[in-house]
A and B are shown apart, each in its own frame.
Chain A
Amino acid sequence: MPFTRNTETIAGEGQGATKKRLVGIVSVVFLVALWQIGAAVVGKEIILPSPARVLAEFISLAPTGEFLTAVLSTFLRGLEAFAASCIVGALAGFASGRSETVRAALAPLLTTIRATPVLALILLALFWFPSGFVPIFSAFLMAFPVMAASAMQGARAAPPELLEMARLFKVPRAKVFFELRLPAASPYFAAGARASLGLSWKVVVAGEVLAQPRLAIGSGLQSSRVLLDTPRVFAWALAAILLCGLTEWIFGRIVTRGAADGI
């Protein structure tokens, strides 16, 4: 009997996954349909272009050198911001988790950054940095507290009874750090990195809209807006969405494989 019940559960889970996917597809179709209806009702491309019109614009834009280099530049900016926020966030967060003094010292900075509106930060950065660096700096500053908050939790994730075991066996501190504290913290690092990745893209593109570097998705968005080319604004936005989705998917794969390897 238990065996039968097990197979039923597995079959049930399989059905659940299929059902979930189906609901997802229906939901996308519904949203596109809503968009299509909205576009038909509005009837003005400059206000709301139809999905087909945006797709056509995207397909015509995609192979151009201007578009590809812009996407690549934005991608590199996002990657730099993400890498910097991960490294600094992990170090700052882990240190705060381990030491009350570090935590007290960093708390005002983190709270201030968290409360600062993204746009205020970008506008200030415009005074300080060249246009290509403004998006990176802003995204880094917005994303690293997210990573820091996760890393701080991670620093406290090692079970106290395992730490006591290590202490009783007189395991050297470095060994405890690398083989107990870090592995116990890794799920928190992964969650923090995922959250700062998503945030990095959004702030990078917002920074580009205002800073107008020569090659950037954000600059493409802004110049299309100035030309009142709404379908093109949508097409650039679509590029940003795809970039974000793709990197999150790749990141998810890496994390899943890491977990399977027992990191």
Chain B
Amino acid sequence: MAYSLIAIRRSFGDLLVLDGVDIEIPPSQLLVILGPSGCGKTTLLKIVAGLDPAFEGRREGFERARFSFVFQDHRLLPWKSAVENALFALSGSGLSRAEALTRIERYVGLSGLGGHADRPIRELSGGMRQRASLVRAFAMPADFLLLDEAFQSVDLKRKRELMGVFLDLRAMERNVSILVTHDPAEALWLADRVIVLSDRPARVIDAFDVDTPRERREPGTPEVATLERRLNAALLGL
């Protein structure tokens, strides 16, 4: 089943933020929405999640959809462990505690958290916290995983590691992931499909599939370089 957003407009007072955004989302895609800071990406994500009903346009196919989230600031309870944090979030999922734990353990195993999974979050490094946040997000049974600038607060090496963890976990769960970011390299590394938004008021100015297998997506490879030039041109308005 496909999901679609059709002619989405959203203003805050006199400020028009989204100016007729159309997005078609096939099932089990990794969709990256790329756009300049402050263009309305988060607003769009909220509309997808059904958290912002005050928009114009149509939102179709989402009636029974369940959502999970990864935040830029991990948003974990500092006094609980990664496993307890995931249990806390999953208490809203309708799963029994045992079922929830089974799911959580599966993702903990893939996350690289290892022995850190049972330590309080406040004792963990930033990278481990983001892993815990990814475990929570994936363990939550959902049709959509929404990631709001989820890989922004770490350096390049950790970012690569985390995106690797993200892709490993994603291999288990065939849901739709929608990641918003302002970083073209991140978009090209992860995306099945990239949608580029303009400055505010945001419209879709470019959209394309990325078919290159991930092992050939290193920056500098011809395919990626071509796409990166295309994205930079779109973002810079050339």
Contact = CB atoms under 8 A, between A and B. Distances in A.
B153 interface: no
Interface in B33-53: 49, 51
Given A170-B92, A175-B88, A175-B91, A165 B79 contact: no
B79 A262 contact: yes
B140 to A, nearest CB: 7
Interface residues of A, number: 16
A108 interface: no
A76 B128 CA distance: 49
B88 A171 contact: yes
Interface in B69-92: 69, 71, 73, 75, 77, 79-80, 88-92
B126 interface: no
A63 interface: no
B62 interface: no
Interface of B is mostly: loop
Interface string A164-191: 1110111110010001100100000000
A180 B80 CA distance: 10
B67 interface: yes
A252 to B, nearest CB: 20
A99 B88 CA distance: 25
A112 B67 CA distance: 50
Nearest to B92: A170
A20 to B, nearest CB: 27
B120 interface: yes
Contacts of B75: 161-162, 164-165
A169 B140 contact: yes
B77 A262 contact: no
Contact of A179 (B49, B88, B90, B93): B88
Given A165-B75, A171-B91, A262-B79, 17 more contacts: A161-B73, A161-B75, A162-B75, A162-B77, A165-B69, A165-B71, A166-B88, A168-B69, A169-B68, A169-B140, A170-B93, A171-B92, A172-B91, A180-B88, A183-B77, A183-B79, A263-B79
Interface of A: 161-162, 164-166, 168-172, 175, 179-180, 183, 262-263
7 contacts: A161-B73, A165-B69, A166-B88, A168-B51, A169-B90, A179-B77, A180-B77
Interface of B: 49, 51, 67-69, 71, 73, 75, 77, 79-80, 88-93, 120, 140
